[in-house]
Amino acid sequence: MAYIERAITSILKSRVSSSKCLLLTGARQVGKSTIIKHVFPEYNRADFDDRLTRLQAREEPKLFFMNNPRPLFIDEVQKENSILEEI
């Protein structure tokens, strides 16, 4: 399947280059993960769909970030509704 260029691509590239943290939100199945994988293939990614990844981020945040160095995209962050409050 061919990649569909999103209108937000240039804005996302600009924001990533000038921000320490960026939150990309949107409706389900609109291509948030796909755009990150396509536009930033060299960046590290952690996926909170994986229970062990979520557990490590919650229980051992220093180890989580050692295992997932910057630049890092965390996918499915909504899976762990309290993780952002604790970091």
The string of pLDDT tens digits covering residues 9-60 is: 999 999 998 988 888 888 888 889 999 999 999 999 998 889 899 899 889 9
Tokens 């952002």, residue? 84
Cβ(27)–Cβ(16) under 8 Å? no
Largest CA distance in the chain: 39
Q: 39: closest CA among 70, 8, 77, 9?
A: 9
CA 39 to chain CA centroid, Å, is: 13
Does residue 84 register a pLDDT over 70?
no
